[in-house]
Structure 1
Amino acid sequence: MTSHIPLSSSELATLWMTYQQKTMSQRLLEHFIEHAEDEEAKEILTSTHNKIVHYIERIKQIFEQEGAVVPVGFTEQDVNTEVPKLYDHLFDIMFLRLLKQMSMGLHTLHLSMAHRDDIVSLFQELTEFTQGVYSKCVDYLQKKGVLVRPPVVSMPKEVKFAKGTGYMNGMKLFSEKRALNTVEVAHIHYAVETNILGMQMITGFAQAANEPEVRKYFIKGKELSKKIIANYTQLLLASDIQASSTWAGKATNSQIAPFSDKLMMYCTSIFCSFGLGSNALGTAFSLRNDLPLLLIDTAKDILTYGQEGRKIMARNGWMEEPPQMEDRIDLTK
């Protein structure tokens, strides 16, 4: 029995974050389901939506049992399913795949921060569920021929060790840079792939946003994604590696918002946080000296952009505050 064991601050925090993200996903899926053009895609979207609603209710029950206020998250007011679709065919599953990529990492992290049996069980189930949805999305997109695959490389025939510091060369003015290794290419390719989808997403948001300030912010985000794609593609081309792309998932010409500005701003904030995390991994595992400098510079741009977005959300009353620790200084005044 765990009812007598109070939630820790970490468990409360991870449940709160999960509730925000799942209610956002619920509303996004409602629009995608309404406009799904393919029965298989609709089945993936619908089954995912139903399971997400189940987990939202479970988290809600935990809050209520603990005497904690249930977060607002995102409600029926944040989606309008009766407007034209904002994105072309296949964007829905491409976008769901990316959401599940983010969720897999978050659920695993949150699992490692949980101690109470029911919370551990919840995040174990969420991890398994998310992996299953991700696999369905990959299978579907591969069948449609639109899944962007990383570059192919010749298989290594011998083990090599770096001799001296020349392997990390990338900064010296007159020396030739070595070709990228597969670890570096993996992170660069992933950044290009996710920023292409992010650019498509935010293009639709820019067309449909209601507030001029929000529309301007999304246009700025689109330009930032284009800059990142161009810089990282150039890195690949310098090593004679062709960057992959896809024709699918573009925004339509609709200018009618299916989502509230609040939801679109939060979704963009999540993408910024995910981009920073991915960037940090790329920086940590890049061995050529010039790569971390570019990645750090990109991270600064993403961080600045994300902070600007949070200010817009706060000014408009769209930023729901996480549960707060007791202010002991204030309580002892």
Structure 2
Amino acid sequence: MPEKASISSSELGTLWLTYQEKTMILRMLEYFIAKADEEKAKEIMTNLHEELEMYVGKIVQIFEEEGAVIPVGYTAEDVNKDVPKLYDNGFDIMFVRLLKEISMGLHSLNMTMTFREDINMFFEDLTAITQKYFRICSQYLLEKGLLVRAPYVSMPKSVEFVKGNSYLGGVALNPFSQKRTLNTVEVSHVHKAIESNLTGLQLILGFGQCANDVEVKKYFNEGAELAKGIIKELSEVMIQTNLPIPQTPGGNPTRSTVAPFSDKLMMYCTSLFCSFSMGSNSLGTAFSLRNDLPAKNTIFMKDIFEYAHKGGKIMIKKGWMEEPPQMEERKQIIKK
């Protein structure tokens, strides 16, 4: 038996996806570090860059040992650190925090699809790093007043059980139907969705004003309108329960129209955020008991999927979508 088993298809796939994501993050961090005007934010991002760079190196080492080609991913050609600031007022750490939120879910999922101990430990270590920086970024933003907490609620004094199907009330097809107030589980998902879409909106507004390709610029503007629509719908849900609407007190795009990132990188980043948004809406649907909320989330997921699919077509058309490693096409091999 060999000392170390060859990597499986799922391990190759998860490492390949991680390489794409991490090389994108490294390029974006390089720009944000160069433009950071707050020392603590710069230190957080610099430390994160150093740790992630080491794990990208580990992926390269595994691929080389296995005889696999190294993916292109995102390189120095995809970032220009010498252009003016595209975002201001704490956006860099807001963005990093959202990326860490995405990465936590990805690494946990990847761990369930790995078998070789060293690769399983690789994702275990990445998960720990991601959780650490999510906490650091959250505390930084709270200290700066740039992170809005979810609404507070009176503590329950007794245990209650659902009495009757009216608890599920709130049919989307009947806007006049009686809706109960949101429970705390539902509030947490609605609040998080608004918060994430606000950060995504700021990101894509900046992308839209600096993209070089006309078709790509139009695509980003469509994405901004989609995010606005989701924020508006979910804000109405909060208002109906007399809850404050989350608002991001920072992270504004500047007036710069010079792109710090390639259109290719910005399209991939948007695709990653779409995937995260669909996953978050799925969780919101699963844990919401009021009928109107899953109905809204289902519509959001359909719209986001169609938007992401359109983006994929643009990336293919422009030659920007790197193809994941393929399984052998046995029929073609036999014909040869």
> With structure 2 as the length reference, what TM-score do the two structures score?
0.97
- In structure 1, the partner of 2:249 is 247
| Residues 321 and 115 (structure 1), Cα distance of their counterparts in 2 relative to 1, 3 Å cut | same
Greater alpha carbon shift after TM alignment, 173-182 vs 301-310: 173-182
* Seq. identity, %: 56
1:146-161 matches, within 5 Å, as 146-161=146-161
- In structure 1, the partner of 2:5 is 5
Aligned-partner Cα distance in 2 for 1:244–1:94: 14
1:259-274 matches, within 5 Å, as 259-274=261-276
Task: Provide Cα deviations, 1:227-276, integer angstroms capped at 9, x if missing partner.
Answer: 00000000111111111212200100000000000000000000000000
Count of residue pairs the alignment pairs up: 333
Q: What is the CA distance between 1:2 and its match in structure 2?
A: 7.1
- In structure 2, the partner of 1:94 is 94
> Which runs of 5 or more residues in structure 2 are unaligned?
none
> With structure 1 as the length reference, what TM-score do the two structures score?
0.98
Q: What is the CA distance between 1:138 and its match in structure 2?
A: 1.1
- For the 8 Å contact 2:15–2:59, the answer to whether it is kept is yes
Q: What is the CA distance between 1:316 and its match in structure 2?
A: 0.3
1:155-234 matches, within 5 Å, as 155-171=155-171, 173=174, 175-234=177-236
- In structure 2, the partner of 1:48 is 48
- For the 8 Å contact 1:2–1:117, the answer to whether it is kept is no
Letter in 1 for 2:193: A
Letter in 1 for 2:14: T
- For the 8 Å contact 1:167–1:288, the answer to whether it is kept is yes
| Residues 241 and 229 (structure 1), Cα distance of their counterparts in 2 relative to 1, 3 Å cut | same
- In structure 2, the partner of 1:320 is 322
| Residues 87 and 140 (structure 1), Cα distance of their counterparts in 2 relative to 1, 3 Å cut | same
State the Cα RMSD in Å: 1.2
Aligned-partner Cα distance in 2 for 1:69–1:113: 21
Aligned-partner Cα distance in 1 for 2:2–2:98: 34
Q: What is the CA distance between 1:329 and its match in structure 2?
A: 2.4
Letter in 2 for 1:274: F
Task: Provide Cα deviations, 1:124-177, integer angstroms capped at 9, x if missing partner.
Answer: 110111111111111111111111111111111111111121110112846411
1:35-184 matches, within 5 Å, as 35-171=35-171, 173=174, 175-184=177-186
Task: Provide Cα deviations, 1:5-46, integer angstroms capped at 9, x if missing partner.
Answer: 111111001000000000000000000000101111110010
Aligned-partner Cα distance in 2 for 1:139–1:91: 14
Aligned-partner Cα distance in 2 for 1:58–1:2: 21
Q: What is the CA distance between 1:117 and its match in structure 2?
A: 1.1
Letter in 2 for 1:323: P
- In structure 2, the partner of 1:30 is 30
> Which runs of 5 or more residues in structure 1 are unaligned?
none
- For the 8 Å contact 2:199–2:248, the answer to whether it is kept is no
- For the 8 Å contact 1:100–1:134, the answer to whether it is kept is yes
Aligned-partner Cα distance in 2 for 1:106–1:281: 14
